[in-house]
Structures are given as structure tokens and as C-alpha cells.
Amino acid sequence: MIPPYGGRPLAPLRVTDTRELQELRLEAEGLPALLLNSAAAANAVMLGAGYFSPLPGYMNIADALSVADTWHTREGLFWPVPCLNLCTAEAVAELGGAERIALRDPNRLGHPVLAVQDLAAVEELSDACLEHLARCIFGSVDREHPGVRVFSTLGSRVLSGPLRVLDGSYFEEDFPGTFRSAPQLRTALEERGWRRTVAFQTRNPMHRAHEELCKMAMQAVDADGLLIHMLLGKLKPGDIPALVRDAAIRKMVELYFPRDSAFIAGYGFDMLYAGPREAVLHAIFRQNAGCSHLIVGRDHAGVGSFYSPFEAQEVFEQHVPPGALQIEIFKADHTAWSRRLGRVVMMRDAPDHKAEDFVLLSGTRVRELLAAGEELPEEFARPEVAAILRDHYRAQNGAEAGARAAAS
């Protein structure tokens, strides 16, 4: 199986020893506490789950700037996106100069302790530095970009240092059959005897084009199996909730994939919408999980028109040093149903087609059809998948109508 990223053993920061876990929980109750924002909490979960291996904890300003400017930490580790614990000046003041703090989970009732952090430094980012980081990470400082909008609200104080993670946050509670750490995925792939595994990253339900793309990639690289690896964290408004996506994907795999050819799992991270940099981060996640290949398609990890269609593919040639990644990238074109051929094709493989020869629906148009209770074309979505999505939108519309009626 492919080795973990960085040429080192996998290094999840989650505490698994029962005695140590009990001692840390007891200690945390007496420590000054910081209520994390969701972005910092997601970083802690990913550190705990081994996806950020070999990072030892949250970065300081010097490392964050080095990653932003050079794609490397100061020690020389290739890394695409700074891993930060950002908070406000008011929150830092409440810590009273403590050197060890409890990090509380913002996404669970009662805000239980998620991790214990040793504070190596508490630093202040200038407005200019925050803007520079945003421009490097997202390629923009436009607040219309959902990643920029979130990043700009997190605060200007950087709390760096190692941490010990106590649990998997709400992901374990809400997605017990789906959430898996990197070590757990490695074990699952080994138990299946998969040496060559293709990973498919998704934050959306999978339609027929996605389904066929996965099958094309598996055949092209002679894979033993497919990991459908979905993001379970926070998304921008209007995106399909993870529970609905999970149900839809499981139904698709049950009915339309060969038995035992695909494994469905999820990871606890908030979507950045950082396009090419996030695509590289996705590759690191999947190498740490034991996958040999990652599908990178059109507009991978993008949003709106902030990135060019294939920028997330080009980044692997432009910014990833030779040998830095051992996982291989399967570069996919946009896939769609061909009316002329009666099947899904990559559009680059059908140069004789015109636009009207394809069944193409934008994400916006799909949401409009579902919200109106209309059927999705069978060439676009499997009927069983479309039914799950349609039921979700009907329930959502009903709840919104009820809320408006109550308000009036």
C-alpha cells in the first residue's frame, strides 16, 4: 500500500489510550478554555484523524506565510494550505496568559472539550497580512467567495502549538457509519486486499456523470476498488446536507456498482472552496488514507468563476515538486450524457459533439428543478437518487412554508 504523506509514519494526534484520555479530560476541566470557531475545530479533527499527518499542530504566522508564499513550511515540508487556530483578541484576553488551554467544540451542545493545546506562541496578524494570506490561499480577497468570507471573520490572533485531540467532534455522533480516520481507512483497504485504490472527493450528491467517471477511472488505472470520500463538515448556503448526500450515494452504490467494488466514507472538514490549493490538500488526505489515485476533474474544489475550469489539475504540474506526492492524479474532463451515443462520456472524448448533443444541468438548475418538485432527467440522475433529493427539497420547502405561516 502507498505510504503516508511526507515519508514518515502516519501521525494522528487523537488520544487513543484510555488512561491518558481520562487524565486529559480531567485536566481540561481546570484549564483556561477557548471556544473554537468551526474552521479551527475542523483543523483539530483533521489533525486528530491523521489526514493532516505529519503536521504536529497549529501553525504560527511564520509557517503560515511560508506555506502561503512558497508552498512549504519553514522546515521544508511541502504543504498547500496553512493549518491555523485563529481567534479574536477578546478571546485571547480571557486566557490570561496561559501556556496550556482547553479547546472547546463550537458545534456540539454544551461545547465539550475537543482538544488540549500547548501554546507555543500567541501572535497578531495585521490586516495586510490577513489579506495576503487570503489572496494566496483562495486566489482572491473578494467577500463573495465563500472561503474568503469565512476566513475574514475568524479573528486576527494566531494560537500556535501542538495539541492532543480527544474525540472526533459531531462527525462521530452524526455519521457513525461514515466518518473514518485515515488509519481506519488504511485498515479497511488492507482488509479488502486493495493495493490500488481510486479516491473520489465529493461535497455533492453523485449523479450519473460522477458515477461513470469513477468507473472510467477505475478501469483506466486497473484499480482494485473505489473510495467515495465525502466531506461531512460545513458548506456554503444552498449545498445539499451531508446526511442527504450520504443516503443518496449509498443508494447509488447499492444499485449501480458491482458488489464490494466501492467503499463509502467521510471526513470531518469544513469546505474551503480554495480550488487548486484545496485539490492538493485533497491529494494529501487520500495518500494518508492509503489511496493510490485521486480523481481531479473540472472545477475541483472550486466555486463560481473564481478559478479556471482545469486550474486544480494544472496546479499539480506547476506547484507540486517532483516526488513530493506519491499518490497519482487521474485528470478527468467534464462528463455528461451523450444523446448521440446513449451513454456518459468525457467531453474531450467526443470532439464531434455540439453543445446540444449533451445533457448538461448546472448545480443551480438542478436545485431549481428539485425545489419546484420537478423530475431530473434520467440521463442526468439515477431515479432512486433523484427521489432522495426530491424528498429532501419537499421537506425543506414544507418547513420553510410552515415557518413563514407561523411568522405571519
- Secondary structure (DSSP) of 215-279: HHHHHHHT-SEEEEEEE-S---TTSPPHHHHHHHHHHHHHHHS-TTSEEEEEE-------HHHHH
Residue 280 grid coordinates: 492538493
**DSSP state, 364?**
H
Catalytic residue among 203, 277, 286, 298: 203
Catalytic annotation present for 204: yes
Q: How many residues does the chain have?
A: 408
**Continuous segment of H or E residues that includes residue 295:** strand 293-296
What is the rounded distance in angstroms from the CA atom of residue 132 to the CA atom of residue 61?
A: 12
- Secondary structure (DSSP) of 103-124: EEPTTSTT--EEEEEE-SEEEE
CA-only gyration radius of the chain, Å: 22
Catalytic residue among 108, 196, 204, 397: 204
CB 280 within 8 A of CB 319: yes
Residues 6+ apart with CB under 8 A from 273: 138, 145, 146, 147, 236, 301, 302, 303, 306
**7: amino acid identity, one letter:** G
CB 165 within 8 A of CB 114: yes
Catalytic annotation present for 203: yes
CB 346 within 8 A of CB 336: no
Q: Where in the sequence numbering do the catalytic residues fall?
A: 203-204
